[in-house]
Chains A and B, each alone.
Chain A
Amino acid sequence: MKRIITATVQNRGGVLNRITGMLNKRQFNIESITVGASEIEGISKMTFVVHISDEQKLEQLTKQLNKQIDVIKVSDITDKAIVARELALIKVGSSGQLRAEIQGIISPFRASIIDVSKDSLSVQVTGKPEKIDALISLLRPYGIKELARTGVTAFLRGQQPRQVTDIQTVYTI
């Protein structure tokens, strides 16, 4: 199963290394990791998209993340009301004539052309990963010269149907 897990971490030297090292050592299969500043100085937010075989592995993952000294809080937000977004830059081969056609394809995705050259153009798109997947497959016939995706970053929506439980409290009871 695919899970989206966020972690709030103290922004100390090597924190990303520590976490990726642990994930690698314990054989967790990570699809993507994003890291960046949070609303609090010195605190970063990480989002992991992981493939996990079963509940026990999932519990181990959250526990091992929590065990890291720099990790303040871990939440599995997969089943919550969340906003999850990814950004992708897609460079497609394109002569001048095709530009309008491509524009037509990308506009329903609210993507935009951010760079144009003689024989290529670059598209920027943000959204849920599935949306990005869809756009990529539509653009594939034009020849994708380069693709860069950021991985998903996510957090909870302001309004939740029910209370969110963070993992720390789950396993102390």
Chain B
Amino acid sequence: MKGEAEQTTQAVKEVYTGSELLIELLVEENVDIIFGYPGGAVLPLYDALYRSNAPFRHILSRHEQGGIHAAEGYARVTGKPGVVFATSGPGATNLVTGITDAMMDSLPLVIFTGQVSNQVIGTDAFQESDVMGITMPITKYNYQVNDARDLPRIVKEAFHIANTGRPGPVVIDIPKNISESIVYEPGSTTFDLQGYQPTEKPNPLQIVKLGSALSRSQRPLILAGAGVVFANAAAELTQFATMYGVPVVNTLQGLGSFPEENELSLGMGGMHGSYAANMAIQECDLLINVGARFDDRLTGNLKQFAPKAKVAHIDIDPAEIGKNVPTDIPVVADAKEALQALLEINIDKPDTTVWRNKVKENQTAYPYWYEKPSEYLSPQWLMEQIHQRTDGNAIVTTDVGQHQMWAAQYYKFSRPNRWVTSGGLGTMGFGFPAAIGAQLGKPDELVVAIVGDGGFQMTLQELSVVKQHALPIKVIIVNNEVLGMVRQWQESFYEERYSSSLLTANPDFVKLAESYGIRGIRAENEADADRALAEIFASDEAVVADFRVAWREKVNPMVAPGKALHEMLGVKK
């Protein structure tokens, strides 16, 4: 293996252990990177890694949470499952946030945790934790290996489950004695998952129904979610929308599935989405949801959501259909298959001119807006600058908070798989390590991590990884010296009682970066920022940039909690 220290390999294969077998199986699965952290229960595994000459790298994170978020970022941009190793007990429990995050955002991960030996499981042994129990509700599936001979089937199944149907995380818990045990005859890789047969092809009758609903519609609208990205169906979506003149709203996770420069694009909908997008949802008479799950941040008050619309919902996960929004035309299918089927049938083209004009009017009259404060940098301006200076071509990861919403609003995506953000779980600490995984997965791409000064401090120890592997990631700290999103809510809904949301003792991020051997830059005003941005994007090395932005800025517009999409605040200056 090519690893931390380029270990030399000695092919001493006297015996064949569970660990060695596992590594062979990972090679067969075309794994190229493992994100991990060693410990007692995975020592056999790490020893096998050391001795192996498998063609993959192991990336040592500095905290298991950093490792798993990196694996998520990797999965997000490559479409391949992220592979994670961690030890038992605290190693495994440190993964819990990342596993839940991947579950909520449907990211394929295969996670291997060490476990105490079989003989002592259940005795509260040193570093024992009930990984099966803990991870059952937050995984698509999980396994504990009881016999090393089962590894071939389990690993095959795990990769299959993780990255088919609606993707998700799979945990394989391996007791130490199993990874140490000698395997004389490994079992076969064949499996039979009778209960897991995702429906990929749409029912033709439903497609016809959807088609005729579209032809009768005067105000059709597409809501495109991450399902389009996972299914690689961006081209089909664009073709379908343009063919029938249907405007498109994206969910947060669906950004990039439809080019934002396309005249049919209304951008993001939901809590901090555009007024035009949200009004289109409220006014449309046919809402075609492609691969979105009607999350509450998108729908606002469910009772008043899309009140005039007939709802069609294309989803690979039948359980999402009808879960939150009653659905008239359910289509269980892969988004690509469904869109292809729709493109193949004859649909009388509806005349949507009036509708499109109306929607456009809103877009022109109510764009995202901000005022540039005189003293400080404007965070929104900063986002626009980043977008401009990267030609909209960067892979952008974000953390969670105001900066995330500004990035979503102002960084316009024209291609899928370039937007990496924690949506479902809203995990602070996600953005920076996710950028590490994204950069490792796409070494030739520009990766920009946009983070808050709060969230960055949750996982910044991963700067060591950036340095160690010379990853040219650009970390943009949108530093408002507050937990911005919390402060915003406190300003708007709690009469400015800033309870525990002011970050009064931030580190010097420039020195901090430098202490890791990484270039640090600070910008306090626009002139600084101009220079800093030029330097950042000219550099082929990692940069950590501390942008001091106005702390009082709010994300606008907003659908207040409990309100309906048409009741947006802050729509105009």
Q: Find chain B residues with CB under 8 A from A14 CB.
A: 132, 136, 142
- Give, as a whole number of angstroms, the nearest-CB distance from A118 to chain B: 40
Q: Which of A82-123 contact B (CB under 8 A)?
A: none
Q: Identify the stretch in B198-206, B216-224, B429-437, B514-522 within 8 Å (CB) of chain A at 4 or more residues.
A: B198-206
Q: Find chain A residues with CB under 8 A from B206 CB.
A: 173
Given A172-B199, A172-B203, A69-B140 contact (CB < 8 Å): yes
Given A17-B133, A21-B137, A22-B137, A60-B195 contact (CB < 8 Å): no
Interface bin, chain B: 20 to 34
- Give, as a whole number of angstroms, the nearest-CB distance from B190 to chain A: 15
Q: Find chain B residues with CB under 8 A from A173 CB.
A: 203, 205-206
Q: Cβ of B141 and Cβ of A66 under 8 Å apart?
A: no
Q: Which of A13-61 contact B (CB under 8 A)?
A: 13-14, 17-18, 21-22, 25, 56, 59-60
Chain A residues touching B, majority SS: helix
Contact with A along B127-169 (1 / 0, CB 8 A): 0000011001100111110100000000000000100000000
Q: Cβ of A69 and Cβ of B322 under 8 Å apart?
A: no
Query: Does residue B332 face the partner (Cβ distance < 8 Å to A)?
Result: yes
Query: Does residue A9 face the partner (Cβ distance < 8 Å to B)?
Result: yes
Interface bin, chain A: 20 to 34
Q: Find chain A residues with CB under 8 A from B146 CB.
A: 13
Query: Does residue B335 face the partner (Cβ distance < 8 Å to A)?
Result: no
Given A13-B144, A22-B137, A172-B203, A66-B194 contact (CB < 8 Å): no
Instruction: Determine the distance from Cα of A76 to Cα of B199 in the docked complex, in whole angstroms.
Output: 21
Contact with B along A67-79 (1 / 0, CB 8 A): 1111111000000
Q: Which of A102-151 contact B (CB under 8 A)?
A: none
Query: Does residue B317 face the partner (Cβ distance < 8 Å to A)?
Result: yes
Query: Does residue B330 face the partner (Cβ distance < 8 Å to A)?
Result: yes
- Give, as a whole number of angstroms, the nearest-CB distance from B281 to chain A: 21
Beta-carbon nearest neighbor of A63 in chain B: B319
Given A17-B136, A56-B326, A173-B203, A69-B318 contact (CB < 8 Å): no
- Give, as a whole number of angstroms, the nearest-CB distance from A121 to chain B: 39
Contact with A along B311-348 (1 / 0, CB 8 A): 00000011101110010001010000000000000000
Q: A10-B195, A67-B317, A171-B321 known; 9 other A-B pairs, CB under 8 Å? A: A10-B193, A13-B143, A14-B136, A17-B136, A56-B322, A63-B321, A64-B319, A69-B141, A69-B193
8 closest A-B pairs by beta carbon, nearest first, are A63-B319, A72-B195, A69-B196, A72-B194, A67-B319, A69-B141, A71-B195, A172-B332
Write the residues of chain B forming the contact surface with A, with a CB cutoff of 8 angstroms.
132-133, 136-137, 140-144, 146, 161, 193-196, 199, 203, 205-206, 317-319, 321-323, 326, 330, 332
